[in-house]
Amino acid sequence: MSLTPPPGSRSAMEAYLLQQLDSLQTQLTSEQASTASMAAELRAADLRMDSAEKNINSGFLVLCGALGFFMQTGFAMLETGSVAKNNVINILFKNITDACVAGTFWWLLGYGFAYGKSAGGFIGTDNFAMSRIYDNGLNGALAGSDGWEMWFFQWAFVGTAATIVSGSVCERMRIEAYIMSSCAVSIFIYPVVVHWVWGDGFMSSNKGGSSFFYTQDTESNGLIDFAGSGVVHMVGGLTGLMGAYLCGPRLGRFDPVTGHVNDMPEHNIAFMALGVGMLWFGWYGFNCGSVLNFVEAGELAGKVAVNTTIAAAAGCIVGVFTSYQFENVFSVSVALNGILAGLVSITAPCAVVTPWMSFIIGGVGSSIHYSFRRILFKLQIDDPLDAAPIHAFAGIWGLLSVGIFCTDDAVQYAGYPNINNSCSSGRQFATQVIGALIIIVWSITLSTIVWITVKFTIGLRVPAVLEEMGMDVMQHGNNAYGERQATAGWQLEAGGAGGMPYDEFT
């Protein structure tokens, strides 16, 4: 555009200048429109980026939840291999019903108790049957989304907590009694602890806990239980422990005079190894998925995976050497349980420790399993799967190990919101001790109430003759391997008739 005026009169000069001004205004308007268009495109790109981030994180949780649910199959295989072959169908039935009971009652009640609007930091009070999950982030919906993925991810956790119990009470507990315990865990016992620690409860690390000497401010991290050593494994393990104690040992497990532990060998080691492999695989879904935000915390998920792996390996190694030291054999079952104890132990601290710390934590967890296994033998408490030593006692160790090994920098790297010196000052360890004690008292008290109520209503144990025969044929009308069965003067062909009622044996 030329600004050189044409020759001629004053009026011609004015007309020319007006023409140039109009041209400049037109150009400015065009540039403003272009700028507005670019701004709109940038806003649209931001929205697409936000949507993509949300979808990536949601998909990540769905995938991790599916991995976590796969652990249900692992538990089924582990328990199938551990029990007698005439109780295989019974233990599979319990594992199947656990997943279904957990899915139903976690949807109707448990999720609301866990993540609903808090009543004094104790329990959630809304979002029952997912009534508050449809509002796309409005009115406090989880994570600014509809929350579907969070419900699914957490369902896998509650299923695990309920299934842990089955290992402690297998081969002698009535199905009805077991289902009642599964309902209690899914509806109330487990969800309340979730609210305390992972929701908006009084121990929550999401905003700083508030209990006794640690207050809800930036000086406190609250209880750190990254993926559930306490919330999941202690609750399930302690519930199973009380069930095993109140139900009593399997017939013939302990000599009535000397108290000697009679061997009741596993019927299929291959199933046990397969089950532990499945559990180890699924554990990555639990631990890595607990970062919740893959886009912003993908590197943390990698750290969690490494620490989980190292702790499991340490648990196996320590288990092998422990069994050889005390039993003079390289016990496969102790090695497998050592892996599980290492995994349980690292579940709480996996985001706030280093690999060498993970090795120590996993190894100590394996030793704790073996020690408490022998203690339960001395007390004549029969836990066929060592569920309490693995999940309850190694879970306690996992919670405490956070306070022993965490660093303030590692806590910040893991995404906990408060900047403080709780780890270096020892305050975090005190918090972990208090939190562990609270979970112990809650789990033992509530589960004992449930078990005693069931005992004096429908009963805990099957009749002795039914326990001796095995529960597959008598309760489920079949056996796992298609064999002919002859029991108590009557015969059942493979694939034959239905089971017998309890009244027939009482």
HEC-encoded secondary structure of 111-173: HHHHHCCEECCCEECCCHHHCCCCCCCHHHCHHHCCCHHHHHHHHHHHHHHHHHHHHHHCCCE
How many angstroms separate the CA atoms of 283 and 280, rounded? 5
- pLDDT tens digits for 362-387? 999 999 999 999 999 999 999 999 99
With a cut of 70, say whether residue 301 has pLDDT above it: yes
Question: For residue 213, what pLDDT is reported?
Answer: 40
Does residue 449 have a pLDDT over 80? yes
> In terms of pLDDT, which residue wins out, 289 or 486?
289
Higher pLDDT, 13 or 184: 184
What is residue 491's predicted lDDT score, i.e. its pLDDT?
Answer: 42
**259 or 491: whose pLDDT is higher?**
259
CA-wise closest residue to 431 among 194, 197, 193, 203? 203
Q: What is the pTM of this model?
A: 0.87
Overall average pLDDT of the 266-289 stretch: 96
Mean pLDDT of 321-333: 93
Burial class (CB in 10 A: 0-12, 13-18, 19+), 130: middle
Domain limits, the chain: 50-475
- CA-nearest of 464, 388, 450 to 176 is 450
Determine how many CB atoms are found less than 10 A away from the CB of residue 455.
Answer: 15
Which residues are CB-contacts of 398 (< 8 A; sequence separation ≥ 6)?
Answer: 229, 230, 233, 344, 345, 346, 347, 348, 349, 361, 365
3-state secondary structure at position 380: coil
Per-residue model confidence (pLDDT) at position 220? 79
User: What pLDDT sits at residue 392?
Assistant: 98
432 and 402 Cβ atoms separated by less than 8 Å = yes
240 band by pLDDT with thresholds 50, 70 and 90:
very high
At 400-418, the pLDDT tens digits run 999 999 999 999 999 888 8
Q: Is residue 130 a contact partner of residue 107, using CB atoms and an 8 Å limit?
A: yes
Q: What confidence score (pLDDT) does residue 217 get?
A: 59
Mean pLDDT score of the chain: 88
pLDDT in tens, 43-100: 777 777 777 888 899 999 999 999 999 999 999 999 999 999 999 999 999 999 999 9
The pLDDT score that the predictor gives to residue 280 is 98
What is the Cα–Cα distance from 427 to 479, expressed in whole angstroms?
55
Rounded average pLDDT over 291-317: 96
Q: Is residue 212 scored above 90 in pLDDT?
A: no
Phi, psi at residue 282, to the nearest 5°?
-70, -25
Higher-confidence residue of 98 and 213: namely: 98
pLDDT over 70 for what percent of the chain?
Answer: 88
Rounded CA-CA distance 246/240 in Å is 10
User: 50-475: what CATH class?
Assistant: mainly alpha
Answer whether 226's CB lies under 8 Å from 205's CB. no
Q: What pLDDT does 6 receive?
A: 56
